[in-house]
Structure formats: structure tokens, C-alpha cells
Structure 1
Amino acid sequence: MTQIQLEPDLQPHSSELSAVPLQAIGLRPTLLCLSHLRWGFVYQRPQHVMSRLAKDYDVLFLEEPIFEPQQTPLLQPHVVSDGLTVLVPLLPTGLDEQQVIAAQRQLLDTWLAAHNGGELLLWYWTPMSLAFTDHLQGQVVIYDCMDELSAFKFAPPAMLEMEQRLLSRADVVFTGGHSLWEAKREHHANAHAMPSSVDIAHFGQARTALTEPADQAAIGHPRLGFFGVIDERFDIQLVTDIAEQRPDWQIVLIGPVVKIDPELLPRLANIHYLGARQYEQLPAYLAGWDVALMPFAINESTRFISPTKTPEYLAGGCPVVSTPVRDVVNGYAHSGVVSIASNAADFISAIDAALALRKQSGVVTKRADRALDGMSWDKTCADMKELIECQR
């Protein structure tokens, strides 16, 4: 791609970059992670993976730009932990697409020149980042395809073309689930299914006596819960129908609302929107639920998803009722603790059965443990690292 020069007042200020102490050079490879998700948004696959890989690599987690009026272009660093730094490009409003690409390229080049003297590994969560990194020569290029981003609402029109370019450059491809792997293996010879996993110890706290969060304590039972992003993948009508048909059930929804109009969400007395919560808080909420819900719409945006919350709910000892998401059906439908339902009537029947199952001492946890046997983020990340090291 042709280098595009910025206007003089758009040049990055190196003094802003040098304010951060240089890391030791040459001791560990730098793993540059290019993400479409912000580190502080929802703690999910990127945070689990990068926080573990930071034990062996110096991870730079580059987010998408934030635009502010009269902003001097710079990279704002935030050290999350030893070996893991989040970089946020701050850019002025009013730049066109090519100027945004050029600004990110120059900011990143300046940072790498000052902070990286050893091997560079490139990890892509989004193919769109290739626009300003296609000149970088990574010792290993990794594409972690956690979702079919081209099917999501407001996906850039160039997403599919950029993904093809990335697939042609990648040394190894990971996918967030088996159905996505089946699709991507047709386009890359070194693709591997790495389904999102679970921190069993963290969510296992929900099986113990935890203090009830104040905003949930007054909500009655039976209590049905969901945590996650509420977006175009969320089946609004299904949740509405369940709430209307069973007003004695209380539905607790935890998570940010994005890419959809909040006014479209049902406003019923037995639906409780508690907003986003920190990852550390989730077990305390989960501990107070009778049944966990996964009311995903069945559409193009959910065709290849492998929801992290399935094993998280089970680790907390909570039975699950889900719509027929392919990876959930294939991975958990025979577990005896995850029910699959396609409509409100079936959902209600499955929830009734799950509530009855909870009354059988130890049955839910025994079946959940069997379904989770051998799963952990530590194992997933170790498998990823082994495949990366094979390419070095």
C-alpha cells in the first residue's frame, strides 16, 4: 500500500511516545495484537488469551482509534500487567479513511522503532487492521478468527476482501469454534479449531455461598439470567414472549447494549436490565440464578458463534437453555444440563425441566463437570502457543 503522508499538524509527537520507559530489548518476542474490541469492554476471548500469552511474549494490544476534536495524533499506552500493554490511537476528528490509515501506520511504526528490537509476531483479531500493517514483516502471522465479523451489523464492506488478503499472509489460523473452523479450513491449510474456553475456578465461585449483589437481591425467584453483550444477536422477541407468558419468572439481563436501539428492548415488570458488570462480579450474580439463558437469534450473525458463556454458566453450576446455535448443539446438547429450544413454548418447557432438575441434589453439578472435563483457557492458550512456536 502506498505510504500516505500526513499534514504537518497531524504528525505524531515522538515526545509523547518516549515518555514510557523502554522495555528490555531482545529478551522476548513482541506480540502485536490488532483488535477490534477494546480491552476494557467485556472480558472475553482476547483478554483471556493475551493475559496468558503475556507470560512468554511482550504483548502490545492495539485498539481501534478514538477520535477527538483538535487531538494531536498519539498512541496512549496503558500497562495492564507485566508484559501486557494496551495502546490506544488518539486521532483528530475530520480525517478521511486514508488519513486514518496513514496516521495509525506512522504511530505504530514510531512506537515499534522505539520499543521493539527483537522478533515481531503479528496477531490479528480483525482483518481490517491489515490496511495499516501490511508492510510489517512478522516472524509469525496469526489470524484468530473468533467470529464471522463480515456477518455482523455495520461490518465494513471491505471485510471479506481484507480477510482473503489476511488468510494469504497468515502462517496459522485459529477459530473461535468448530463450525467456523469448518468454514475457514477451506481457505487455509493450517487452520485449527480453538473454541472459547472457561476459567473454571473463577466461575466455580458461583457454587459457593457468595454475597448477593445489592441490585439483584430484591429480585424474586424463579430467576433466569443472561450475561453478555446485548446486540443484534439477541432474540428480543423470544425474551419478550417468555416474560409475557410467565410473569412469575424474573429475567435478569447483564451486559452492555450495543448496535441496537435500547428502546426496542422489552420493558416488562419481570425483566431486569442491570447494565454492564465487571468480569470479577459475574460469579456473584450467577450464584443467584436458577437457570441461565442463551436467547440468541438464529441468523447470519450467529451462524458460526461458539458462546463463551456456555461453559461459564456450567462452571457456576447453573443449567442452561439455549436456542439451537450450531456449536452449542454439537458441543452440549447431549450433556443433560444444556437444553435446546427453538421458540418460546419450547423455551418455557425446557426452563421448567431445568428448574425441576435443580431440585435433584448434585445432578446439575455432576453433569456440568462431565461436560467441562479437560476444558481450560490455560490448555487452549498452551495449544495456541505450541502452534505459534512451530512457525518460528
Structure 2
Amino acid sequence: MEFLVFGEDWGRHPSSSQHIISQLMHSYPVTWVNSIGLRQPSINRRDIVRIKEKLLAKFSAKNPTVDSSANSQENHQQTTPTHIVQPLVWPLAQHTGLKILNKLSLQRQLPKKRYQRVIWTALPSAIDLLSICDSDLVIYYCGDDFSALAGVDHQATAAAEQRLMLRADLIFACSPMLQAKLQQLNPQNPVILLPHGVSLSQFATPQPAPANINLKRTSIGFYGSIDQWLDQQLLRELAIQRPLINFYLLGPINTDISALADLNNIHLLPTQPHEQLARYLQHWDMAILPFKNTPQIQACNPLKLREYLAAGCPTISSDFPATQPYRSVIKTATTTEQWLQAIDHYSHWGRIERNHYQTQTRQLIAAETWQVRAKEVTDRISHQLKHKVS
């Protein structure tokens, strides 16, 4: 068996697809097709920069040269895909001529099929390219509510998703809300709930504190995109009300942050590699998910929630459905007063309380590792392939 994956750019950020496929590539050859996009480009600075990045990646990157044998010892130690394809395609093409050119371009880049080929796509726009992929099984993995996702051509993406739902042999959704939404699109094809996992050992193994946090003051942290769904007004009020606590926001800034700029106890830190995040979590006094109440957040299932818990970091979150299984170990808040009460509660904890909390959280998510999620995927694939043959 081999995998052909349509996802975001490999290594750009640690998505759920990358976590799951990273487990599978220890045993199977994987061809990863970098992002084919969910929005037609226009003439603006952001799109021009992105096109330039794509062209540079295409003509300068070297493809990994690994033994693609599914049984080779080298492949069991593989940490990058067997092939990474830098596609030269027009994102979410609507014109028939562009669709044909996209297929011809990608077809020249795909490696020859050697085993039963499983397509894993996290992008509805891949539907127009499946006919050239010589697939034995098609999987649609839905990790986002594309109808509510910023920066997406919603109408065209929704139409592509509807067609993909009819084509896919297996459909996975990362949250109950997405599962219910997709099931309505195609009641005949069962949608399987596949929640996110966590790299438990990575976040549980003790790490030294980073140099850019102050260990002498109570600290509250968040990592991820600083985007429009982050509740800046809430953060501002919390920082004003608790001026002796340091708030650390770690990640790329994709929105106006002027509401936070004049507060001395809010610290904006640069993006860190995924393997460095445990160093922050293990030394913050608490971690937060301060999200606005939007359709996108109601449908989301953030990877960082389980990572917070794996690190044993006391967690406070806005109230959204994905937090439900973890209400026994996290505090949810819907008002500023509830947030402040939760902050004050954790601020008084000592080492004994934190050690007890770490034991609780790690026991709770012990069966939610990415290895477990990957095993669920391969079990489903094996059953489906046998069913198709018979």
C-alpha cells in the first residue's frame, strides 16, 4: 500500500494530516502534494508573495531520496515523505482549460504507482485532480469548516466538497460538528469521527525553560496564529485586571493587534518549531484558548488543547464543543469574571497541585496519541479495501 496526500505545504505548520501521515510513513511510501489552494489568486501583495514562494519551492527544493519499499528498514525510520511534489497548478480552477492544464502538469510530477494507492486529501479542491491519480481508495479528511474559514473561496470550495463527498470511499471528520455537517451533505456515506491526537511523549518529557519567559512572575500562555478569531478585547481586559501576570502570545501575527500594543504585561513572541513548544508549556503557570464565539471556532478541534494537557499545563478555554471531553480537567469561561476566577484559582497552585494535575491530564489523553489515530485509519483502510475487492 502507498499513500498520495493532498494537504498544506509539508513542514509549513504541524497539521493533523501531517501528524497522522508521519505515523503512516514509517510503514508505507508516501507522496505528499503540497498545497493546491482553496482560493483563486488575485493581484495583491500577499498572493504575489505566495506565488513567488511556490515557484521558488518548485525550482530549488530537492525531493527526498528514500527507499520507497514498504518493507525496507530505512523506510521504518522515515521522517519525511518518500516524494514531495511542488505542484504547478492554478488554485481552485473554474475554467475547463485551466483544469486540463492542471491535470497535465500534475500528472507529469506524480511518481509511478507501485502498490495499492490510497488518496488522502484534506483539501476539497483535489476533487478535480483525482482522475489522474490511479487510486484504489479515496479518503476525504475534513479538519476545518471551510464555509467559515477566512481566506477561502467559500462558494467554489463548498461545491468541490460536495462532489468530493460523493467520490470518497472513506470520510473522516475531526469534530462532531463537522461530522454532522458532512453527514447531511451525503447521508448515504457514513462520516467517521477521527478526533485529533497528541504527541504525548514529546510534551510530557521534561524540558528546560526558554530564556524569553520570566519565571519569577505568574505566566499565562497561548501559542498559534494570532488571528481574527482570537478574542483580543478579552485578553486586554484580563491583562489590565491582572497587571502582575505576564501574558505570552507565541505565533505568527495575521491581524491587527493594536488593542494589545500598549500593555506591558502582554508579550508577543516569535513562532517556534513544534518540538520547542513543550519548553513553554511546562513552565507557564497556565495555558489559554481565548477564542471568539464564531462558527469556525464552534466547529474546530484545536491540536493545542491536547498538547496543553499532555504537558500538564492548567488550561482555561472559551466554551466550544471540542472542549466537552476534557471538562473534568480544564476550566471553561464565557465571561471576563469567569476567566479571572479561573486565573486566580490556578495562580494559587503549588507543586503538589500541579503534579496531581499532570497525572490526571496524561491519564485522560493516554489513548489519544497520533499512533492510536493512525492505527484507527489503517484499520478502516484495510477493511474498506477488502470490501472493495470482495
TM-score, normalised relative to structure 1: 0.82
Whether 1:51 aligns to 2:30 is no
Counterpart residue identity of residue 140, structure 1: L
Matched-pair contact (CA < 8 Å) for 1:255–1:277: yes
Is 2:293 the partner of 1:298?
A: yes
- The correspondence for 1:154, drawn from 151, 160, 171, is 151
1:68 pairs with 2:52: yes
Deviation of the 1:369 alpha carbon: 2.5
State which of 357, 370, 373 in structure 2 corresponds to 1:380. Answer: 373
Letter of the 2:204 partner, please give it: G
Identity of aligned residues (%): 25
Does the C-alpha gap of structure 1 residues 300 and 267 become closer, same or farther in structure 2, counting only changes over 3 Å? farther
Q: Which amino acid aligns with 1:67?
A: I
CA–CA distance in structure 1, aligned partners of residues 259 and 212 of structure 2: 23
Cα distance in 2, alignment partners of residues 78 and 372 from structure 1: 36
Please list every run of 5 or more consecutive structure 2 residues that lacks an aligned counterpart in the other structure: 37-49, 65-77, 386-390
1:180-191 pair list within 5 angstroms? 180-186=178-184, 187-188=186-187, 189-191=189-191
Task: Name the amino acid aligned to 1:151.
Answer: A
Cα–Cα, structure 1 residues 73 and 302, in superposed 2: closer, same or farther, change >3 Å?
A: closer
Q: Deviations over 1:45-97 (max 9, x none)?
A: 1221111111232211111265239969957553273654322225799x997
Question: Which residue type is aligned with residue 3 of structure 2?
Answer: L
**Runs (5+) with no aligned partner, structure 1:** 1-28
SS at structure 1 position matched to 2:212: helix
Within-5 A mapping of 1:4-83: 29-35=1-7, 37-64=8-35, 67-68=51-52, 78-79=63-64, 81=79, 83=81
* 8 Å contact from structure 1 (residues 125, 146) kept in 2: yes
Matched, 1:252 2:248: yes
- Distance of 2:63 and 2:372 partners within structure 1: 27
Q: 1:339 to 1:100 in 2, by over 3 A?
A: farther
Whole-angstrom distance in 2 between the partners of 1:215 and 1:172: 45
| Shift in alpha-carbon separation, 1:279–1:164, aligned structure 2, 3 A | same
Measured after TM superposition, the shift of residue 170 of structure 1 is 0.6
C-alpha distance in structure 1 between counterparts of 2:136 and 2:320, whole Å: 36
The answer to whether the aligner puts 1:344 opposite 2:328 as a matched pair is no
Structure 1 267/86 Cα, relative in aligned 2: closer, same or farther at 3 Å?
A: farther
Q: Give the Cα separation in 2 of the matches to 1:370 and 1:293.
A: 20
User: Residues 69 and 314 (structure 1 numbering): CA distance in 2 closer, same or farther, change over 3 Å?
Assistant: closer
Distance in 1 (alpha carbons) for counterparts of 2:302 and 2:124: 21
Higher mean C-alpha displacement, 218-227 vs 308-317:
218-227
Deviations 1:106-135 (A, max 9, x none): 2321123x5334332211101012233345
CA shift for structure 1 position 325: 1.3
Q: 2-side partners of 1:382 and 1:70: how far apart?
A: 33
1:240: which partner in 2? 236
Q: Residue 225 of structure 2 aligns with which residue?
A: 229
Aligned counterpart in structure 1 of residue 107 of structure 2, from 103, 106, 109: 109
Once residues 378 and 40 of structure 1 are traced to their aligned partners in structure 2, the CA distance between those partners, rounded to angstroms, is 19
SS of equivalent to 2:269: strand
Determine if contact 2:319/2:334 at 8 Å carries over to the other structure: yes
Indicate how the Cα distance of structure 1 residues 184 and 358 shifts in structure 2: closer, same or farther if over 3 A, else same: farther
| 1:88-99 pair list within 5 angstroms | 88-90=86-88
Shift of 1:360: 3.9
- Amino acid across the alignment from 1:86: I
TM-score normalized with structure 2 length: 0.82
1:262: how far off?
A: 4.7
CA–CA distance in structure 2, aligned partners of residues 57 and 323 of structure 1: 39
For the 8 Å contact 2:174–2:301, the answer to whether it is kept is: yes
Q: CA deviation at 1:38?
A: 2.2
Find out whether 1:125 has 2:122 as its counterpart: yes
Stretch moving more, 126-135 or 379-388: 126-135
Equivalent residue pairs, number = 353
Q: Does 1:272 align with 2:267?
A: yes
How far apart are the structure 2 equivalents of 1:71 and 1:154? 21
Q: Secondary structure at the match of 1:150?
A: coil
Paired letter, 2:300: I
For 1:215-257, what per-residue CA distance to the aligned partner results, in whole angstroms no more than 9, with x for missing partners?
22x4652100111222232112111111121111101111122
- Structure 2 partner of 1:323: 318
CA RMSD of aligned residues (A): 2.8
